[in-house]
Amino acid sequence: MALGYDKPLYILAFDHRGSFQKKFFGVAGEPNAEETARISDAKNVIYQGAKRALDEGVPRESAGVLVDEQFGADAARDAKASGLILAMPVEKSGQDEFDFQYGEEFGAHIEEFDPTFSKVLVRYNPDGGQESDAMNARQSERLKRLGDWLHEKGRKYLFELLVPPTPQQVEAAGDDQTWDRDERPKLMKTAIEQLQASGVEPDIWKIEGIDRREDCETIAATTRAGGRDGVACVVLGRGADDAAVDHWLRTGSGVPGYIGFAIGRSIWWDPLKAFVDGNLEREEAAKQIAANYRRFIDVYNGRA
């Protein structure tokens, strides 16, 4: 199976777990059955928004949802049955170091739901010091194992790369904003190169929003280096406001290797919070989520 993915891809992401249950429902630790049902119901509102967007013209062949098994199993199964592109997370939620949510059973869970993409979220700073280097080595071994398993099974690998700065890196740059604009793209490039050298081979890289087009071009070229011509990038929303996400989408759009986005909180946070708080009816929340999703697609394609 050829490495990569070459079709437009617009993912509505709601695979958040630990942060979701804490920030929306104030639930710490393992939720009980009633709390789990409430959280799952909220996720179904997001999913209703995704399906509504299809009814309103979003092309099914490009529309994707990223949803977890813990709270979104029903949505995942319906998405698969409905012909949507389905992505599901493999990582444990809320950990700095990547590990498998279901341990040695990760493959059985992937095969049960049969997603289009298996997704990982990875925090990887290639210049974070000795402790960070040791963590990166442990992560890389697990991530290679996952990628090898996926590709042996003819499955696709979606890799969300986060590069969290050290305090020393921010101090050297002057401030967070300067580090984010000037230094993070360089570290992302190095991280991708190190992961590739470790045998980690995603089909798609989820890339945090980048401010300059030339940096998008560099990142995309790095993901495709060494004969990886089909590998693609999608823009990550980072939970930012519309103005920031719009800028990142426009910056990445049209860059060779960029094929779309994977955006979550920026699409659904406000309407879902209003629904959970009792200030918005279910249908209206889904309607607003659909509208936000469609608008970002239009921005990416230069229609807004």
pLDDT band (50, 70, 90) for residue 29: confident
Query: What DSSP character marks residue 16?
Result: -
| Position 4 in a domain | no
pLDDT score for 86: 98
| Position 207 in a domain | yes
Token pair 């992302």 in the structure block, residue = 188
Lowest mean pLDDT among 201-205, 215-219, 234-238: 234-238
pLDDT score for 194: 98
250-277 per-position pLDDT tens digit: 999 999 999 999 999 999 999 999 999 9
Please tell me the distance from the alpha carbon of residue 117 to that of residue 133, in angstroms, as a whole number: 28
What does the CA dihedral 153, 58, 220, 183 come to, rounded to 10 degrees? -120
| Position 3 in a domain | no
pLDDT band (50, 70, 90) for residue 129: confident
147-198 per-position pLDDT tens digit: 999 999 999 999 999 999 999 999 999 999 999 999 999 999 999 999 999 9
| Position 2 in a domain | no
Please tell me the distance from the alpha carbon of residue 93 to that of residue 74, in angstroms, as a whole number: 19
- 269 exposure class (CB count in 10 Å sphere: 0-12, 13-18, 19+): middle
Please tell me the distance from the alpha carbon of residue 84 to that of residue 99, in angstroms, as a whole number: 27
CATH of the domain at 252: 3.20.20.70
| Position 77 in a domain | yes
Rounded to the nearest integer, the mean pLDDT of the chain is: 95
| Position 216 in a domain | yes
- Burial of 176-189, coded b for 16+ CB within 10 Å and e otherwise, reads eeebbeebbbebbb
Which range marks the domain in which residue 192 is found?
9-300
Residue 120, φ and ψ in degrees, nearest 5: -125, 145
Position 290, amino acid? A
| Position 1 in a domain | no
Please tell me the distance from the alpha carbon of residue 43 to that of residue 67, in angstroms, as a whole number: 9
Rounded to two decimals, the pTM is 0.96
Number of domains in the chain: 1
Arithmetic mean of pLDDT, 215-242: 96
Cα–Cα nearest to 294, from 59, 116, 72: 59
pLDDT score for 28: 85
pLDDT score for 91: 96
| Position 179 in a domain | yes
